[in-house]
């Protein structure tokens, strides 16, 4: 029988985490599901909110990696007991049947990771615009798990877990697929991203995406096509600049 561990990762989500935790309490789950919160250098407000919920709290007061999310995920998984791990950021609100729908996929031993559709909660004007932009996901040929994803622990260990890179989730799923394991999105269940969208973060994500595509040696035309179709011009610019930097380094070494 599959055992599920739900790991909620929190940092500065004092105003959002209450909705996240309330949704998890109301959600359908296997009876022996393990649930705990990794409190990663949490603010006092976040600590105050989570103490009102019946979940185990694990304090993490260090940050040794550049990618703090990767570090927190790895730590949480290292102390978890489940076969399937649902990594749930504290600004995510899941549907009632979210976890039950995801774990059914793991009856197929070839499935390594799956998530529902992640949609931005249209709570602000910027969030509404982001929600409209998210329809461009439908143009993609392949849909990678996003947000609250469930992963198979034994395959996670096989590929060495999350790495200290900027796009840690894409790196992990890419490693899974190299071994022939499946990673995908279940379009029949959804989760909401509740955090207010900020222009600064949109720009930063595009720059990071471009750098990571360069690091993973994605083809020029694929990145160009992505930037045009998905309306993400800074991805291509960042990709080009990263390629130029790499060539300059090779020349100067």
Residue 12: give its domain's CATH number.
Answer: 3.90.550.10
What's the rounded Cα separation, in Å, for the pair 201 and 22? 27
What's the rounded Cα separation, in Å, for the pair 58 and 172? 24
Of 182, 197, 212, the position where a domain reaches its end is 197
pLDDT classification of 45: cutoffs 50, 70, 90: confident
Of 197, 214, 240, the position where a domain reaches its end is 197
**Residue-wise pLDDT tens digits, 143-194:** 899 889 999 999 999 999 999 999 999 999 999 999 999 999 999 999 999 9
- Looking at the fold, whether 100 and 140 belong to one and the same domain comes out as yes
Say if residue 246's pLDDT is above 70: yes
What's the rounded Cα separation, in Å, for the pair 85 and 187? 19
pLDDT classification of 138: cutoffs 50, 70, 90: confident
- Looking at the fold, whether 182 and 228 belong to one and the same domain comes out as no
Q: What is the pLDDT of residue 141?
A: 66
Task: Quote the domain boundaries for residue 50.
Answer: 4-197
- Residues 26-44, mean pLDDT to the nearest whole number: 92
- Looking at the fold, whether 81 and 116 belong to one and the same domain comes out as yes
- Looking at the fold, whether 22 and 127 belong to one and the same domain comes out as yes
- Looking at the fold, whether 187 and 212 belong to one and the same domain comes out as no
Query: Cβ atoms within 10 A of the Cβ of 247, count?
Result: 10
- Looking at the fold, whether 85 and 102 belong to one and the same domain comes out as yes
Q: Which of 132, 117, 218, 122 is nearest to 227 (CA)?
A: 218
- Looking at the fold, whether 131 and 145 belong to one and the same domain comes out as yes
**Residue-wise pLDDT tens digits, 194-241:** 999 999 999 999 999 999 999 989 999 999 999 999 999 999 999 999
- Looking at the fold, whether 166 and 213 belong to one and the same domain comes out as no
CB under 8 Å to 72, separation ≥6 — which residues? 9, 38, 40, 60
Contact of 179 with 153, CB cutoff 8 Å: no
Of 172, 197, 222, the position where a domain reaches its end is 197
- Looking at the fold, whether 81 and 117 belong to one and the same domain comes out as yes
- Looking at the fold, whether 192 and 230 belong to one and the same domain comes out as no
Q: What is the pLDDT of residue 196?
A: 93
Say if residue 85's pLDDT is above 90: yes
Q: What pTM value is reported for the model?
A: 0.91
Domain count within the chain:
2
* φ/ψ (deg, to 5) at 4: -105, 135
Say if residue 252's pLDDT is above 80: no
Tokens of 253: 């070494």
pLDDT classification of 253: cutoffs 50, 70, 90: low
- Looking at the fold, whether 228 and 152 belong to one and the same domain comes out as no
- Looking at the fold, whether 138 and 18 belong to one and the same domain comes out as yes
* Mean confidence (pLDDT) of the chain: 93
Q: What is the pLDDT of residue 12?
A: 82
Say if residue 126's pLDDT is above 90: yes
């Amino acid at each position: 029988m599959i055992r599920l561990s739900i790991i909620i990762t929190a940092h500065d989500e004092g105003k959002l985490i209450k909705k996240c935790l309330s949704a998890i309490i109301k959600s359908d789950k296997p009876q022996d599901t393990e649930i705990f919160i990794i409190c990663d250098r949490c603010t006092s407000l976040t600590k105050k909110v989570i103490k009102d919920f019946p979940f185990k709290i694990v304090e993490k007061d260090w940050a040794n990696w550049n990618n703090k999310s990767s570090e927190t995920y790895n730590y949480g998984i290292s102390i978890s007991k489940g076969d399937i791990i649902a990594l749930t950021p504290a600004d995510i609100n899941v549907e009632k049947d979210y976890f039950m729908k995801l774990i059914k996929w793991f009856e197929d031993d070839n499935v390594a990771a799956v998530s529902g559709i992640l949609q931005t909660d249209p709570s602000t004007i910027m969030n509404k615009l982001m929600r409209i932009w998210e329809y461009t996901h439908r143009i993609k040929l392949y849909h990678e798990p996003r947000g609250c994803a469930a992963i198979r622990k034994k395959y996670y260990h096989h590929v060495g877990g999350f790495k200290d890179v900027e796009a840690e989730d894409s790196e992990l799923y890419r490693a899974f697929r190299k071994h022939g394991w499946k990673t995908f999105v279940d379009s029949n269940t959804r989760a909401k991203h509740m955090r207010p969208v900020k222009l600064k973060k949109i720009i930063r994500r595009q720059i990071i995406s471009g750098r990571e595509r360069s690091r993973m040696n994605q083809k020029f035309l694929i990145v160009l096509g992505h930037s045009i179709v998905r309306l993400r011009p800074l991805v291509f610019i960042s990709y080009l600049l990263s390629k130029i930097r790499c060539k300059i380094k090779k020349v100067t070494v």
